[in-house]
Amino acid sequence: MKRKLLSMIAGSALVLGGMGAAMAATQQGQNEDEPNIGQAKVTLTQAIAAAEQKAGGRAARAELDDENGRLVFGVEVVNDQQATDVKVDAMSGQVLSAQADQADAEHEGKDEAHDD
C-alpha cells in the first residue's frame, strides 16, 4: 500500500513539475522564434512616439522583430493620406526607416481602378 502511494505521489510530482516549467517558459516569452521584449532598451511606448513623430500620424499597429540579429520595432503609422511603415531600433530608439505601406498603396490603386 505504501509503495503504491509513493509511486502515485512521485508520478504526480513529475507531471506537476513539467507543467510548471512549461508555464514559466510561456510566461517569460521564451519562444525561440520570437524576440524577447525584455532585451529591448527602448520601451514600446517610446518606439511608438518616435514613429508617430517621424510619420506625422497615429500608430495603428506595432511589433518587435528580430531583423538579422537586430531588435527592431515595426510601427504602422496612419494619417489622412496614407499608412507608413516605420522601423525603430529597439536598443537606441533611432528611426531606421519610414516608407509608405506598400500593401495599402496597392490596395488604393485597385480601388481607384474599379471606381469607373
pLDDT tens digit at each of 116 positions of the chain: 555 544 445 444 444 444 444 444 444 545 556 788 899 999 999 999 999 999 999 999 999 999 999 999 999 999 988 999 999 999 999 999 999 987 755 555 554 444 54
pTM listed for this prediction:
0.63
* Cell 516605420, residue located: 86
**pLDDT above 90: percentage of residues in the chain:** 53
C-alpha closest to that of 87 among 67, 72, 70: 72
Q: How far apart are CA 100 and CA 98, in angstroms?
A: 7
> DSSP class of residue 34?
S
DSSP one-letter code for 114: T
Residue type for 17, please? G
Map residue 94 onto helix, strand or coil: coil
Helix residue ranges per DSSP H, the chain? 2-27, 44-55, 102-113
Q: What does the pLDDT look like over 90-108, one tens digit per residue? A: 999 999 999 998 775 555 5
